Amino acid sequence: MTRTTHFGFKTVSETEKAREVAGVFDSVAERYNLMNDLMSGGMHRLWKRFAVEVSGVRSGNRVLDIAGGTADLSSLFLEQVGSRGEVWLTDINNSMLTIGRDRLLDEGTAVPVAQCDAEKLPFPTNYFDCVSVAFGLRNMTHKDAALKEMLRVLRPGGCVIVLEFSRIWKPLQRLYDLYSFKVLPAMGGFIAKDPDSYRYLAESIRVHPGQEELKQLMQKAGFERVEYFNLAANAVALHRGYKF
């Protein structure tokens, strides 16, 4: 029997979802950074800095940036780990990864890069001090499998950092819906010539687990001391969990 899942509000087969997600990121890659700045008013940069802060990553650490895309987090982690450390930039999508890799080269840093699916990581068990995934988990077909893989590659004592859209503070819901379903697709149409991908963004946020649900998913995958920090009136949440 064909297994189905969500692609935004649509129910699709699991293979179709992977194809659709690939289509979205192939299409938006070129304008991805500009759109992020415009859509969040630059705030995504602060959320990412906060994520790196909360990760506790220090000089000499090994970090795996999953769904790293255009390398915002990898670039920040590199500042933390210094020349003795190791940061891997990874993503399933070649268009996003190429932009990320080139950006790091332009910044004068060459990091190891791997094109891989978060659900099947090509890394040894107990290797990384920190694993991060920013705005990526939402797009994955089997979030439970991806979280288990993240746990596997972490060393005992290491932590995972999940930065993701979440459930906004209720009084702002209507305004946020208006912004997400009217303004974002219009902006995506104008800037990235692709309103549909930004409609998907809004829909995928609505079907992604909220703060408590994601905490439970992480606990179920085996993470301990899971907690989260709400950002931007709860529109975004940063979850942290440890492997012991």
Ligand X SMILES: C[S@@+](CC[C@H](N)C(=O)[O-])C[C@H]1O[C@@H](n2cnc3c(N)ncnc32)[C@H](O)[C@@H]1O
Residues of this chain that bind ligand X (CB under 6 A)? 21, 25, 66-70, 72-73, 91-93, 96, 117-119, 134-136, 139-140
DSSP 8-state assignment for residue 234: T
The smaller minimum CB distance to ligand X, of residues 204 and 234, is found at 204
Query: Strand, coil or helix: what is 134?
Result: strand
Q: Which residues, 6+ apart, have CB-to-CB distance to 50 below 8 Å?
A: 229, 231, 238
The smaller minimum CB distance to ligand X, of residues 93 and 234, is found at 93
**Measured from the CB of residue 135, what is the shortest distance to ligand X in angstroms?**
4
The smaller minimum CB distance to ligand X, of residues 30 and 224, is found at 30
The smaller minimum CB distance to ligand X, of residues 118 and 184, is found at 118
Is 116:90 a contact under the CB 8 Å cutoff? yes
What are the C-alpha distances in Å from 169 to residues 101, 138, 177? Answer: 36, 19, 12
Instruction: Tell whether 91 is in a known binding site.
Output: yes
**Measured from the CB of residue 244, what is the shortest distance to ligand X in angstroms?**
25
Distance, C-alpha 57 to centroid of its chain: 18
The smaller minimum CB distance to ligand X, of residues 115 and 230, is found at 115
**Measured from the CB of residue 178, what is the shortest distance to ligand X in angstroms?**
22
Q: Any alpha helices (H) in 56-194, and if so which ranges?
A: 72-81, 94-106, 143-153, 173-178, 184-191
**Measured from the CB of residue 213, what is the shortest distance to ligand X in angstroms?**
19
Instruction: Tell whether 70 is in a known binding site.
Output: yes
Q: Which residues, 6+ apart, have CB-to-CB distance to 115 below 8 Å?
A: 90, 91, 92, 93, 94, 97
Instruction: Tell whether 4 is in a known binding site.
Output: no
Q: Which residue is nearest to ligand X (CB)?
A: 69
**Measured from the CB of residue 119, what is the shortest distance to ligand X in angstroms?**
6
HSE-up (13 A, CA, CB side) for residue 82: 4
Instruction: Tell whether 117 is in a known binding site.
Output: yes
Per the annotation, binding residues for S-adenosyl-L-methionine are 70, 91, 117-118
